[in-house]
Amino acid sequence: MKAVIQRVLKASVLIEKHDQRSIDHGLLILLGIGRFDKLEDVIQLANKILNLRIFSQGNKMNESVLDVRGSLLIVSQFTLYADCKKGNRPSFINAAPSVHAKKIYNEFVNYMHQHQINCKSGEFGAHMEVSLVNDGPVTLIVDTKE
């Protein structure tokens, strides 16, 4: 699994131009699911994100999203698995097939909900417009295979 994690002052997702979900202070998580990702990857990545000390206490990043009682906005993004090495059209051969990816995505969202954190999500497979105000800016990439 791959995640682009952005510390935000606020973020929202507009789903199919009619359903908007938003958070204030917290993390926007763009989540990519690979072909071979399993439940173990869900737990590993979710725990890493929940415990990353990327919120500032003074001049030092020393608090997690749990410590600051922040929120999460989780958006599926298969394009994180794009392979752009050959030609000009990205290949998505390393992205999970839709049925598997949706199952893993839902497991990730459900796992986050279990941690008593305000958690919103986009809609798997839908066209979405994402807006955010990046705080810092702080943007990290986490890959369970690295």
pLDDT at 80: 95
Lookup: tokens for 45 = 């990545």
Q: Whole-prediction pTM value?
A: 0.94
Does the pLDDT of residue 100 top 90, yes or no?
yes
pLDDT confidence tier of residue 146, bands split at 50, 70 and 90: confident
pLDDT in tens, 72-81: 999 999 999 9
Does the pLDDT of residue 59 top 90, yes or no?
no
Q: What is the average pLDDT across 88-93?
A: 94
The mean pLDDT of the chain is: 95
pLDDT in tens, 3-26: 999 999 999 999 999 999 999 999
CATH classification code of 2-143: 3.50.80.10
Residues annotated as part of the active site: 77-79
CB 119 within 8 Å of CB 113: yes
Give me the residue spans of the domains in the chain.
Answer: 2-143
pLDDT confidence tier of residue 2, bands split at 50, 70 and 90: very high
